[in-house]
Structure 1
């Protein structure tokens, strides 16, 4: 947490006034958000709305991690990028557009693959981590890092008309981990490039990830121990209990 910031200036008070009016946030909560550091892994369909709303909400520092470049096929759903950004690194594109949204926040970028030691070090510096990636290898790596560093992990996924969301808050010893839901030998994963995805579905999930980040930072109730499943085709949302697996090969050790 960035303890260098001790108060909100007049411009920030005006900008965030609608959040400060909320009793669950108030001035103290908004200052906490301004002092906080969120790391977003993946600036695609989920990371785009999540980053936009976290920047707008006044999270003081965002670190954006993605090694890919903007392609025209991304623009259908990756709303932090623009046509003018095609061919740029996604993190550079996102940083430019987020900076235009909010000049009061700090944005750092990492545009390369990171090894496990580097991921752990970055997670150690964060107050909260967002998993907006699209493959099991990355998800399992972030699960391990956040578990090791006892940091909350906000995990979202979307494909076709469907989305899911959970928070694994490793500040709480009773929290399940990602491998309690999906064992590492789970099998074949589905991808948007092969199965498709509706643009607003990733918007729903990414926006909800941003909400979970705010709540985790302010120590408000989150989806820890729960799995939200979204069916946008029928507009049905279910929330299932997700318990710690006593046989989990990772967190039950």
Structure 2
């Protein structure tokens, strides 16, 4: 059993004792652990699928200070799983929406909104302000960044991930046990694992995995129970099965002494990229007959049917990798996907096949809808 992460805060008021009475009645929690929760400072990465239940349950549990890192707005496709937001929040900053929901649930919680993209330049300063990091990010680059920054500062990190029907949860804590790099020493090839926005997610899974993450956070703060440090639990919602694997610190793993460029590490840096604004200008010029090029959509047919850019040619990624695509080698080619990772992989493959004039659209069709054609639907 680990020692409590946080010292007890001030004595509970009468209102706090009533609000948290069902916790206080539990012998393992009691008044002392509730005061630890009151004194705790927890940073949550993302106010999306996992961040939604995490933030609500941490607030309900009485965690005194919550920080939220997010730089996105609420859209309609979020509401299938991101339960902290509602229909009236569409178009609103996720930070503002989440903070309002927390205030409605528990006005005793202090919320700090960090409206930034988490990067190697700001992670250490942000993390230093908190006792514990809860990682609900949906990209490998951010997961490695979160783990490395927490490891450098010696702070515990509760990690969860979801995709379709599968979820995973673990606790990483450098100096006490393994980190994310011990579970995944190398990033998977870019584009080989779809994000939730590309592969989909069973909405209810967010609640199962998110609440499990909160249970781990509360156990770390209060020092009760056995945490998932050194273990990963895996849940399959389709089969309703749980299983567990053990992980240990790899003695060959070098100590993290500096943060790196995680997009380069994960192979997701945007080389040979153009903005959606430039693409719009190029399409206008193509319509006037001033230039010519092929705009290639590398998503799947179902995605294309939901939303696509007028004039784009659908050539799914698998056809390109099989060598069956018949793209002209003497024309400029611009490829795009939903958000960028798949088009980056396709760009590399086309260049490997000898295509010399290939670029990709940074941010994919999500950026196009947001910046150029906001009347289009998204998913």
> Matched residues in 2 for 1:41 and 1:160: separation?
20
Instruction: Find 2:19's aligned residue among 15, 18, 32.
Output: 15
Q: CA deviation at 1:3?
A: 7.5
> Matched residues in 2 for 1:2 and 1:93: separation?
28
Q: RMSD value over aligned CA atoms?
A: 1.8
Q: CA deviation at 1:114?
A: 3.5
Q: CA deviation at 1:248?
A: 2.7
Q: Which runs of 5+ in 2 are unaligned?
A: 258-379
Q: CA deviation at 1:4?
A: 10
1:186 corresponding residue in structure 2? 188
1:103 corresponding residue in structure 2? 107
Q: Which runs of 5+ in 1 are unaligned?
A: none
Q: CA deviation at 1:115?
A: 3.3
Kept in 2, the 8 Å contact 1:168–1:225? The answer is: yes
Matches within 5 A, 1:147-166: 147-166=151-170
2:65 corresponding residue in structure 1? 61
Q: CA deviation at 1:154?
A: 0.3
> Matched residues in 1 for 2:200 and 2:6: separation?
39
Q: Does 1:240 align with 2:240?
A: no
Q: Does 1:50 align with 2:54?
A: yes
Alpha carbons of structure 1 residues 3 and 106: separation in structure 2 relative to 1, 3 Å: farther
1:115 partner SS: coil
Alpha carbons of structure 1 residues 95 and 2: separation in structure 2 relative to 1, 3 Å: farther
> Matched residues in 1 for 2:20 and 2:234: separation?
31
Q: What per-residue deviation string (whole Å, max 9, x for no partner) do you get for residues 195-249 of structure 1?
A: 1111111110011111100001012321000010101111110011111122334
Larger Rg: 2
Q: Does 1:144 align with 2:148?
A: yes
Greater Cα offset, 237-246 or 71-80: 237-246
Q: What per-residue deviation string (whole Å, max 9, x for no partner) do you get for residues 158-196 of structure 1?
A: 1111000000123xx241110111124332332111211
Q: CA deviation at 1:106?
A: 0.4
The alignment of Structure 1 onto Structure 2 pairs a total of residues equal to 250
Q: Does 1:217 align with 2:228?
A: no
Kept in 2, the 8 Å contact 1:135–1:189? The answer is: no
Alpha carbons of structure 1 residues 97 and 69: separation in structure 2 relative to 1, 3 Å: same
Alpha carbons of structure 1 residues 53 and 149: separation in structure 2 relative to 1, 3 Å: same
Q: CA deviation at 1:117?
A: 3.8
Kept in 1, the 8 Å contact 2:7–2:36? The answer is: no
Alpha carbons of structure 1 residues 159 and 114: separation in structure 2 relative to 1, 3 Å: closer
Instruction: Find 1:229's aligned residue among 230, 234, 237.
Output: 234
Structure 1 residue runs of 4 or more that deviate by more than 4 Å after TM superposition: 1-5, 249-252
Q: What per-residue deviation string (whole Å, max 9, x for no partner) do you get for residues 39-58 of structure 1?
A: 00011100000000000000
Structure 2-normalised TM-score?
A: 0.63
